[in-house]
Amino acid sequence: MKMDKKHVAHILEEIGTLLDLRGENSFKCRAYHNAARTIESLGEDLEQLVRSGELTNVKGIGKGIGDKITELVTTGRMEYHEELKRSLPPGLPDMLRIQGLGPKKVKVLFDQLGIESIAQLKQAAEEHRLQNLDGFGARTEENILVGIDSLERHADRFLYPVASEAARRIVESLKRLPGVTACEITGSLRRKKETIGDIDILVSASEKQRKPIMQAFSSHEEVVRVIAQGETKSSVTLRIGINCDVRIVSKAEFPFALNYFTGSKEHNVEMRSRALAKGWSLNEYGFSPAKGGKGKRRIPECTTENDLYRALGLEFVPPELREEMGEFEAAEQGMLPELVELKDLRGTFHCHTNFSDGANSLAEMVAAAQALGWSYLGIADHSHSAAYAGGLSPARVRAQFKEIESVQKRLKGFRIYRGSEVDILSDGSLDFNDKILASFDYVVASIHSKFKMNEAEATKRIIKALKNKFVTMLGHPTGRLLLSRDPYPVNMTEVLQAAADYGRAIEINAHPMRLDLDWRLVRQAKAKKIPIFINPDAHNTEGLRDVEYGVNVARKGWLSAKDVANTWSQRQIDRFFQK
Ligand code: DGT
Ligand code: CA
Ligand code: CA
Ligand code: ZN
């Protein structure tokens, strides 16, 4: 099995966490966390480095960790990792998923109350047994219960990339099976929803080939449990915990099933009612004459999904728009937007380097952006009060400008923009003075602290920041972390209006846990003509690729290329920044 960097980084990260939980020396813990980030952002091929014995030449990888990585890459397992896992109750790392609960507190809970699972923790908190522990109080207890509640509400959903990656592997192996003439991802994954309940896959194959296809599916190496297995439908649970449905239909049924299982349910309901209005009954297998239908209109022949929409007098509706939010009215009039695509992007603007909490240097980030075919890159490291993230002092800002100048000199036709991700302080003022703010090409203003606000306070704080003439765009506007932290209560209608009034832009933070601005709000922003930037919030070179998830959100928000600022030319960007 090929060990990819992500997997190795993941194991190193897990070791760091297990050491944290055991309360070991903090230098040792940090060494593993840092090694994880180093490996993930490594430019070279990991296996090559292991083979040539050059791994320890990499900065931050000493002999001890180097040997362990070598063991993992060459044998597929690491004894030290297994041993550490055995040394602690398996439920402890799970407790870290509760917002606001770090390794130190989990260790106290375990040592003093013997709590080793979320269920036990919930019970203890409800019985108010946590309040008197070292470093805990009534407030902590309350927050833990809120955190558990949020986890429980999201327990049955998965982040888009996690589901998408698993689905891709299943589809790849299904496509290789004899008799499979078509195989597509359907459901919420095809609609590019921000979180996914289960994976839906549709296959086309003749009847006599279905049984062996289903057998191959349920014995796939990713499958840990078979819920149901039939010839036309099977459901399983995959290793990562998500369920996966596979359905097999005939070639003639395929376009109808593809449409039906892509959904959404609400979109399907409207499709069916429009078919009925034409005298046809529509289901996942095809059109048929509606019972008691008025006209005896000929049943249309459909070999593609496109034909199906055409038969109903509609323009083809891209899957991302199938949420029954006005797509029928637009499709009827041929007014659907031409949606932005990944290849339309020419760069991006919210990226971190090792000047703050990024893992890669400026030169490495620029090279990665060029490899993606981009023609500009905006660097926005953290501002100085973001101490936890290596925020830049004014002196470090000047040093970074020098570095940008020297890297820029060696580039032809590629532009580095000098930006900053400036903290919005609790009173809505910014974390740099006007003189420093004025020295940047652009400013991303974001909230990273003091999340506990009521709606009026949060809205006022953000609007005050937007009013600041040095602010170019608002970063991750609602602060949500998908499946773990709710957005702060903020009146986004007022925030969007303020952005429109002051001529500011808003980012779609493309990090798969954020996807913030939410696509439902992206549409409102478009209606107010607010320019949208798709920003990956990249903390290493790989992270730049996250713009893909931002493009999904932009498409779900009905954006065309021209609505997305990072499809613009350098000249258009310059003009916008100068304004
Ligand atoms: P998810 O899995 O919660 O992320 O969301 P979906 O949209 O993938 O939902 P899922 O897996 O339950 O069903 C896949 C599609 O099948 C759904 O988008 C539309 C269609 N579908 C499922 N149940 C119904 C139903 O009761 N009525 C209609 N019209 N369509 C349905
Ligand atoms: Ca689904
Ligand atoms: Ca399903
Ligand atoms: Zn940020």
Structure tokens at 83: 């041993």
Model confidence over 429-484: pLDDT tens digits? Answer: 999 999 999 999 999 999 998 888 899 999 999 999 999 999 999 999 999 999 88
Task: Name the closest-CA residue to atom 30, ligand 1.
Answer: 265
Alpha carbon nearest to ligand 1 atom 8, residue: 187
pLDDT at 1 over 50: no
**199 neighbors 167 (Cβ within 8 angstroms):** yes
| Beta strands at 280-283 and 243-249: parallel, antiparallel or unpaired | unpaired
Question: Which atom of ligand 1 is closest in space to residue 245's alpha carbon?
Answer: 11
> For the chain, how big is the Rg over CA atoms in Å?
26
What's residue 155's pLDDT?
76
Which residue lies with its CA nearest to atom 16 of ligand 1? 261
CA-proximal residue: ligand 1, atom 25 (nearest):
265
pTM above threshold 0.75: yes
Is 155 touching ligand 1 by the criterion CB < 6 Å? no
What's at 42, amino acid-wise?
A: L
Mean pLDDT of 354-359: 92
Q: How far is the CA of 256 from the centre of ligand 1 (A)?
A: 14
Q: Identify the residue whose C-alpha is closest to ligand 1 atom 23.
A: 265
Please give the CATH number for the structural domain made up of 1-88.
1.10.150.110
Concatenating the DSSP letter of every residue in 316-340 gives ---GGG-SSSSHHHHHHTT----B-
Q: What is the pLDDT of residue 241?
A: 86
Rounded to the nearest angstrom, the distance between the alpha carbon of 199 and the centre of ligand 1 is 10
Ligand 1 pocket check for 263: Cβ under 6 Å? yes
- Ligand 1: which atom is nearest the Cα of residue 196? 4
Ligand 1: residue of 259, 267, 268 to mutate (most ligand atoms within 8 A of CB) is: 268
Largest Cα–Cα separation, the chain: 80
55-73 pLDDT tens trace:
998 888 999 999 999 999 9
Q: What atom of ligand 1 comes closest to residue 189's alpha carbon?
A: 8
Residue 200 Cβ < 6 Å to ligand 1: yes
Which residues keep their CB under 5 angstroms from ion ligand 2? 187-188, 198, 200
**Residue whose CA lies nearest to ligand 1 atom number 15:** 261
Q: Residue 132 Cα, ligand 2 centroid: separation in angstroms?
A: 44
Tell which CATH classification among 1.10.1760.20, 1.10.540.10, 1.10.150.20, 3.30.365.10 matches the domain 97-153.
Answer: 1.10.150.20
What single letter denotes the amino acid at residue 174? L
Q: Pick the atom of ligand 1 nearest to 260's CA.
A: 20
Residue nearest to atom 5 of ligand 1 (CA): 188
Does the CB atom of residue 59 touch ligand 1 within 6 A? no
What is the CA 53 to chain-centroid distance, rounded? 35
Average pLDDT over residues 132-159: 88
Q: Are the CB atoms for 506 and 522 separated by under 8 Å?
A: no
Ligand nearest to the CA of 196: 1
Closest among 520, 510, 517, 513 to 549, alpha carbons compared? 510
Going from the Cα of 171 to the center of ligand 3, the distance in angstroms, rounded, reads 15
List, in sequence order, every beta strand (DSSP E) within 213-285.
Answer: 223-229, 233-238, 243-249, 280-283
Residue at 233: amino acid letter: K
Superfamily of domain 255-332: DNA polymerase, thumb domain (3.30.210.10)
Instruction: Write phi, then psi, for 78 (nearest 5 degrees).
Output: -135, 115
Nearest ligand to the CA of 246 is 3
- Is residue 500 predicted with pLDDT exceeding 80? yes
- Which of 236, 265, 281 gets mutated to test ligand 1 (max ligand atoms within 8 A of its CB)? 265
Q: What is the pLDDT of residue 294?
A: 61
Residue 454 CA to ligand 4 centre (angstroms): 21
Task: Please write the tens of the pLDDT for every residue from 388-442.
Answer: 788 999 999 999 999 999 999 999 999 999 999 999 999 999 999 999 999 999 9
Rounded to 5 degrees, φ, ψ at 246 are -120, 130
The whole-number pLDDT of residue 239 equals 85
- Specify the CATH architecture of the domain 158-251: 2-Layer Sandwich (3.30)
Q: Is the C-beta atom of 265 inside 6 A of ligand 1?
A: yes
| pLDDT value of position 338 | 98
User: Cα separations (Å) of 321 from 253, 503, 535?
Assistant: 23, 28, 22
Cite the beta strand spans of 158-276 per DSSP E.
Answer: 158-159, 182-185, 195-196, 199-204, 223-229, 233-238, 243-249
The residues that bridge with 286 in the sheet, in sequence order, are 283
Q: How much distance in Å is there from the Cα of 422 to the middle of ligand 4?
A: 9
CA 578/CA 571 separation, integer angstroms: 11
DSSP annotation of 389 reads G
Structure tokens at 27: 């230098």
- Per-residue confidence (pLDDT) for residue 296, from 0 to 100: 62
Q: How far is C-alpha 7 from the geometric centre of its chain's CA atoms?
A: 18
Q: Do domains 158-251 and 342-578 have the same CATH topology?
A: no
Output the residue whose Cα is nearest ligand 1's atom 31: 265
Convert the pLDDT of each residue in 507-540 to its tens digit.
Answer: 999 999 999 999 999 999 999 999 999 999 999 9
DSSP H or E stretch at residue 286: strand 286-289
Among 200, 256, 259, 552, residue to substitute to test ligand 1 (most atoms within 8 Å of Cβ): 200
pLDDT at 459: 97
The rounded Å distance from CA 157 to ligand 1 centre is 14
Mean pLDDT of the chain: 94
pLDDT tens per residue, range 265-280: 999 999 999 999 999 9
CA of 201 from ligand 2 middle (Å) equals 9
Paired residues of 238 in beta bridges = 223
Which residues, in sequence order, are CB contacts of 152 under 8 Å at separation 6+? none
Domain ranges in the chain are 1-88, 97-153, 158-251, 255-332, 342-578
pLDDT tens digits for range 288-321: 998 876 656 788 899 999 999 999 999 999 999 9
CA of 200, closest atom in ligand 1: 11
- What's the whole-number mean pLDDT along residues 556-565? 98
User: CATH homologous superfamily for 342-578?
Assistant: Metal-dependent hydrolases (3.20.20.140)
Confirm if 207 and 214 have CB atoms less than 8 A apart. no
- Ligand 1 nearest atom to the CA of residue 269, by list position: 29
Q: What is the 3-state secondary structure (H, E, C) of 344-386?
A: HCCEECCECCCCCCCCCCHHHHHHHHHHCCCCEEEEEEEECCC
**Extended beta strands in 152-232, E state:** 158-159, 182-185, 195-196, 199-204, 223-229
pLDDT tens column, 93-143: 889 988 889 999 999 999 999 999 999 999 999 999 999 898 899 999 999
**Percentage of the chain with pLDDT > 90?**
84
